[in-house]
């Protein structure tokens, strides 16, 4: 996706046209630059997420939601962090089995 964003940012119709003009060293430079200072739609999305997080945190009920919102919570282009399922204890498994199958 980086090549498409870079091509759009630099005014090339397709990454294939861009790659004809850049050396590997130059492409690596652009990649490093985008890691430091993202550009294009991702940057706009980040800015929007920060503004939304600020607004949501100002109005957040800290008792109902103790953790503050982050920009990523409001970004469409950000993948949600994977939620790890915790292992159930033996007692919890037994209680679940009792509810499902009866005593």
pLDDT tier, 46 (very low <50, low <70, confident <90, very high otherwise): confident
Query: Residue 98 above 70 pLDDT?
Result: yes
At residue 53 the predicted structure's pLDDT band, cuts being 50, 70 and 90, is: very high
SS (H, E, C) 22-74: CCHHHHHHHHHHHHHCCCCHHHHHHHHHHHHHHHHHHCCCCCCCCCCCCHHHH
Top-ranked range on mean pLDDT: pick from 32-36, 65-69, 77-81: 65-69
- Where do the domains of the chain lie? 1-39
- The reported pLDDT for the residue numbered 69 is 95
């Amino acid at each position: 996706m980086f090549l498409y964003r870079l091509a759009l940012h630099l005014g090339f119709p397709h990454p294939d046209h861009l790659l004809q003009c850049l050396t590997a060293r130059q492409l690596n430079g652009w990649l490093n630059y985008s890691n430091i200072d993202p550009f294009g739609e991702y940057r706009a999305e980040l800015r929007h997420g920060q503004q939304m997080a600020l607004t949501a945190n100002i109005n957040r009920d800290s008792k109902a939601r103790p953790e503050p919102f982050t920009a990523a919570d409001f970004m469409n282009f950000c993948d949600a962090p994977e939620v790890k399922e915790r292992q159930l204890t033996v007692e919890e498994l037994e209680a679940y089995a009792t509810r499902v199958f009866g005593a």
